[in-house]
Amino acid sequence: MSFLRKLFGSKKQDEPAPVAPAAPPHAEKVASGSSRAQVGWVSDVGKQRTTNEDSVLVVQASQEGNNALPPFTLLILADGMGGHQSGEVVSALAARSMARHIVQQVYLSALAHRDHGAQQPSIQETLVEGSNLANSTVNATVPGGGTTLVCALLLGSRAYLSNVGDSRAYLVASNGLQQISRDHSLVDRLVELGQLTAEEAASHPQKNVLYRAIGQSGVLEVDTFVHSIQPGEGLLLCSDGLWGMMSDEQMGQIIAAAASPQAACEALAVAANQAGGRDNISIVLVQFPDSS
Amino acid sequence: MGKSSLLKRLGEPDDAQPGQDGPQEQERDLSTQQIGKPAAPPQPALETRRVNVAQPPLRVEGRLAEGATLQGRYRVLGVIGAGGMSTVYKAQDLHFPRVQRICAIKDMINTATDPAIREMVVQNFEREASLLATLSHPAIPQVYDYFTDGDRSYLVMEFVHGQDLETVLEETDGFLPEPRVVDWAIQICEVLIHLHNHKPNPIIFRDMKPSNVMLDAQNRLRLVDFGIAKVFQSGQKGTMIGTEGYSPPEQYRGIAEPRGDIYALGASLHHLLSKQDPRLEPPFSFHERPIYKSNPLVSAELQEIVNRALEYDMNQRFGSAEEMKRALLGLRSARTSGRTIPGTMEDSQIGDQRAIWQFACEDEVRSSPAVHGGVLYVGAYDNNLYALNAEDGKFKWKYPADGGIASSPCVGEGKVFFGSEDQVLYALNADSGRLVWTCPTKGRIYSSPQVEFGHVFIGSDDHHLYAINTASGRVAWKFEAEGAIRSRPAVGSDAIYFGDDSGALSAIGVNGQLLWRFRARRAVISSPLLSNDMLFLGSQDWHVYALDLRSGWAIWRYRTGGPVVSSPAVDGSTLFIGSSDGEVYALDVTNGYLVWRFKTEDQVASSPAVYDGAVYVGSADGFLYSLNAKTGQLRWKFQTNGPIISSPAVADGIVYVGSMDHNVYAFPA
């Protein structure tokens, strides 16, 4: 259906589209679930740990029909910190708090009202609020616990991302992976500045020190990003159990060779385990349909 | 997961250290030793140690009781500060019975259980004490005495009156004046010169930060904490201790040398000038947070000095504290050092600007000029639309409407279009000024026309948006809005976007059907701008919004200090807009973060224009401002004799603007 018609609306889908002389023509498309973004995911304990302290949460919603809402896809990945508090409890709690807030504020609110307005926070604010909610929930429920939290909200062709910690978000483009998020890790910062080599960083005593994490007290700074996604592109979220075991290039090759997002996630987990599987491996991959 | 949070680690037991179960367990952090300040707030630090504090009789909860006497000589008067491995007390020296000799006593706890390590800790302490005792500099407190008693070591020092710079900064409203900070920087360079030239080995202070610098009533500084000062030996791997936030990156490679103190001084100056605490920011992110973004009053020259001190690569920094001092002395603000003057930009720094030409209309010019084919078109409240030669301002023709013209003209298809308070949209021959057609509406027209697709789009106070055929002047369709339409519609590839006085921003298809609507809390007079698949607008509800062009979802919003009437301009990844709070804002288009802002003396209703790295904007204070688009620094300003509501237009290296003093001005851009 034409965009104009879809939003403003003829009464039935099978009516001919009204003539729109000045508007660029839109191809008629059959509405079906196959046109939505495809999601794959994996969360694996790895080779050397006994528990999986990562959490993955995916929500997808689509509507077809008169004045339909844009497709909604929410991806959340959290990597809990070990030690005295159970990381898996903290990461799951953070992921759920974040998901609840975004679904309520964005999707449930859009189901209720078609007009958008200033009485609602912007999407960027909603992501920051969700991360803060996860932070305060963790502080109140599991004091001393900590987790990373990376989130991607896809609405139509735009991706809204937020990040705290060193789990990563990548844009999967035809020419490979581009990291969108920035790790909040001290050692990475030093490598970035040329103060440490990658080898020095790997053995640095502070290599696992994050300078930002969910669960910290005080003000939580949340990074946010907005990206336009082209047809055929994808987004990858992963914990350091994946990106710490192989290069971005290797990850990109495995994704490009896979038949589906789910197959890609599974192949990535196998490769990370083959490389040693030092940590829990969590991966979420969403692939947008090619334009028709 | 083998992962730990820096912040979290501070609050947790360290498994590597025995003896954690004592009742008075306290956590201490070597890097936060302070004098003259109550217990420091928790700070991210790289090394933390946890200790058991024994409780000798003269102590209460691990601290020396008030009135307790040490060595039969020093009577404790109270705690000055605590942090790290030490507590600092104010005490009276009883050997001077006739006068009140006040001193500061630093109390260090030896927590090591291994006798060899205990001995090493005592030796470290005594080395620090004897090193300090050999130093003689007015900015270094004198050491009177030191001794060890059981698991405690004590350093007796000159008592320094005053406040530390962190406290001074916290208690300052607004920003510290540049000359004052420059004066401090010079003083700190002087004491660093003394330390770095110490023989036989340089002394590296290693913990330069505002809280370690005391300011007395005479505006003199003292470095108060040598807790981790180490005798410098080239190539030696040092213990990695330091307050994260100020310490140089090479410290994490175990390197300590004089240029590390220069970095930390740069970091301290950045904090003092920007009021951004580096302990709350990502490590080594100073270059990503230029000072001008938070404090536009700081001179570019001082920022350059701070940036050089903060180079990641030691070799790119000043080679010595002497070199940095020389650079500081070269600053204009160094000449006013020591005097407290308001931190305002000096007028002499601002270049004069003279108009190329000016043209007097018979009444106020609120309309924004449009320049096309070497001709400038502008409306005035004297009811005329003027056509002037853009190059020299010579009068070509004028066309009288029956009402004032606030609407800004638009040129297309050989015609100039404009609305008037007489409710009529006019189309004139752009060359001759002869009337081609008129199109009446039922309300006054303050909206400005936009020409696309062979149609003129314009709003009216009759609540309608009109699409009018440019050739015939016939209304193709009209769309009823919920309020008067005063903004200029924006035309996209398949929709038209406009705001109205009800606060609605409507997206309608080219055939006049509603696509979506976004509701601001107050009227939208600001004209929407389309860029990067986003729509930007301002509202009288004080906000600037970025909406998704397809759906109308708010991507981000930014709150200014007043209603936003000004319309946005985008250049690259930066959006510029004015607000009634008197500020001109530069925001990052992708996330709405503030890049810089510039304060004028009155409301900014004029919309910015960007040209060749400069932003031009008028203000109700009567000035036309030219600002550096990257930094927001003033390039020049020109004062007219009336408020400027009109938005500047730039063409062929000339910037044009109208003023309520009845004139139209032209300046070199």
Does the beta-carbon distance from A186 to B3 stay under 8 Å? Answer: no
Residue B228 is predicted with a pLDDT of 40
pLDDT in tens, A246-268: 999 999 999 999 999 999 999 99
Q: Say if the ipTM goes beyond 0.85.
A: no
Q: Could you please report the per-residue DSSP string of B211-267?
A: GGEEE-TTS-EEE---TT-EE--TTPPPP---BTTTS-GGGGGT---HHHHHHHHHH
Q: A83 vs chain B: nearest CA distance in angstroms? A: 7
Does the beta-carbon distance from B513 to A4 stay under 8 Å? Answer: yes
**Chain A residue closest to B538 (CA)?**
A118
Does the beta-carbon distance from B46 to A206 stay under 8 Å? Answer: yes
**B284 vs A: CB within 8 A:** yes
**Chain B residue closest to A106 (CA)?**
B553
In the three-class reduction of DSSP (H, G, I as helix; E, B as strand; rest coil), residue A252 is classed as helix
Burial classification of residue A11, based on how many CB atoms lie within 10 Å of its CB (0-12 exposed, 13-18 middle, 19 or more buried)? exposed
What residues does each domain of chain A span?
A: 51-287
Kindly give the pairing relationship between strand B163-164 and strand B213-215. Answer: antiparallel
Kindly give the pairing relationship between strand B4-5 and strand A209-210. Answer: parallel
Residue B505 is predicted with a pLDDT of 95
Q: B555: which chain A residues are within 8 Å (Cβ-Cβ)?
A: 122-124, 158, 160, 226
Q: Which of residues 21-40 of A touch B (CB under 8 A)?
A: 22-24
Confidence of residue A161 (pLDDT cuts 50, 70, 90): very high
Residue A85 is predicted with a pLDDT of 66
Residue B379 is predicted with a pLDDT of 95
**Cα(B658)–Cα(A14) distance, integer angstroms:** 55
Nearest to B501 by CA among B487, B518, B483: B483
Q: B547: which chain A residues are within 8 Å (Cβ-Cβ)?
A: 116
Q: Report whether pLDDT(A22) > 70.
A: no
Q: Which residue has the higher pLDDT, B336 or A131?
A: A131
Residue A115 is predicted with a pLDDT of 74
Q: CB-CB: which of A157, A208, A211 is closest to B3?
A: A208
**Cα(B604)–Cα(B584) distance, integer angstroms:** 7
Give the highest mean pLDDT range of A28-32, A92-96, A172-176. A92-96
Q: A1: which chain B residues are within 8 Å (Cβ-Cβ)?
A: none
Q: Which residue has the higher pLDDT, A67 or A52?
A: A52
Residue B420 is predicted with a pLDDT of 96
Does the beta-carbon distance from A121 to B554 stay under 8 Å? Answer: yes
**Chain A residue closest to B506 (CA)?**
A115
Q: Which of residues 247-276 of A touch B (CB under 8 A)?
A: none
Kindly give the pairing relationship between strand A54-61 and strand A116-117. Answer: unpaired
Q: Which residues of chain B have pLDDT under 50?
A: 1-2, 5-56, 228-243, 337-350
Q: CB-CB: which of B1, B44, B541 is closest to A53?
A: B1
**A45 vs B: CB within 8 A:** no
**Chain B residue closest to A190 (CA)?**
B249
If one counts every other C-beta atom within 10 angstroms of the C-beta of residue B225, the result is 29
CA of residue B281 relative to chain centroid, distance: 14
Does the beta-carbon distance from A124 to B556 stay under 8 Å? Answer: yes
Q: A209: which chain B residues are within 8 Å (Cβ-Cβ)?
A: 4-6, 9, 46
Q: What are A54's strand-pairing partners?
A: A79
**Cα(A194)–Cα(B253) distance, integer angstroms:** 11
Residue B141 is predicted with a pLDDT of 87
Does the beta-carbon distance from B4 to A280 stay under 8 Å? Answer: no
| CB-CB contact of B658 with B363 (8 Å) | no
Does the beta-carbon distance from A186 to B511 stay under 8 Å? Answer: no
**Chain B residue closest to A281 (CA)?**
B1
Residue B10 is predicted with a pLDDT of 33
Residue A54 is predicted with a pLDDT of 95
**Cα(B157)–Cα(B212) distance, integer angstroms:** 15
| CB-CB contact of B278 with B290 (8 Å) | no
CA atoms within 13 A on the CB side of B471: 2
Q: What is the DSSP-derived secondary structure letter of residue B67?
A: T
Residue B285 is predicted with a pLDDT of 86
Kindly give the pairing relationship between strand B514-519 and strand A116-117. Answer: parallel
If one counts every other C-beta atom within 10 angstroms of the C-beta of residue B93, the result is 19
Mutate to test the interface with A, among B4, B5, B496, B559 (most CBs of A within 10 A): B5
If one counts every other C-beta atom within 10 angstroms of the C-beta of residue A113, the result is 11
Q: B545: which chain A residues are within 8 Å (Cβ-Cβ)?
A: 118, 122
Residue B35 is predicted with a pLDDT of 32
Q: Does domain A51-287 have CATH number 3.40.50.300?
A: no
**B27 vs A: CB within 8 A:** no
| CB-CB contact of B286 with B308 (8 Å) | no
Helix axes A248-257, A261-274, angle to 10 degrees: 140
| CB-CB contact of A283 with A208 (8 Å) | no
Strands (E), B493-582: 495-499, 504-509, 514-519, 529-531, 534-538, 543-548, 554-559, 569-571, 574-578
Give the highest mean pLDDT range of A11-25, A188-202, A239-253. A239-253
Q: CB-CB: which of A115, A123, A196 is closest to B555?
A: A123
**Cα(B184)–Cα(B176) distance, integer angstroms:** 11
Does the beta-carbon distance from B4 to A119 stay under 8 Å? Answer: no
Residue B114 is predicted with a pLDDT of 75
Q: Which of residues 135-194 of A touch B (CB under 8 A)?
A: 144, 146, 148, 155-158, 160, 166, 184, 186, 189-190, 193-194
Residue B483 is predicted with a pLDDT of 95
**A113 vs B: CB within 8 A:** no
**B541 vs A: CB within 8 A:** yes
| CB-CB contact of A13 with A65 (8 Å) | yes
Sorted by where each starts, the structural domains of chain B and their CATH numbers stand as 6-158 (3.30.200.20), 171-349 (1.10.510.10), 357-668 (2.130.10.10)
Lowest mean pLDDT, pick from A114-128, A229-243, B613-627: A114-128
Q: Could you please report the per-residue DSSP string of B400-463?
A: E-SS---SPPEEETTEEEEE-TTSEEEEEETTT--EEEEEE-SS---S--EEETTEEEEE-TTS
| CB-CB contact of A171 with A188 (8 Å) | no
Q: Which residue has the higher pLDDT, B529 or A191?
A: B529
Alpha helices in B489-637 (DSSP H): none
Mutate to test the interface with A, among B3, B47, B314 (most CBs of A within 10 A): B3
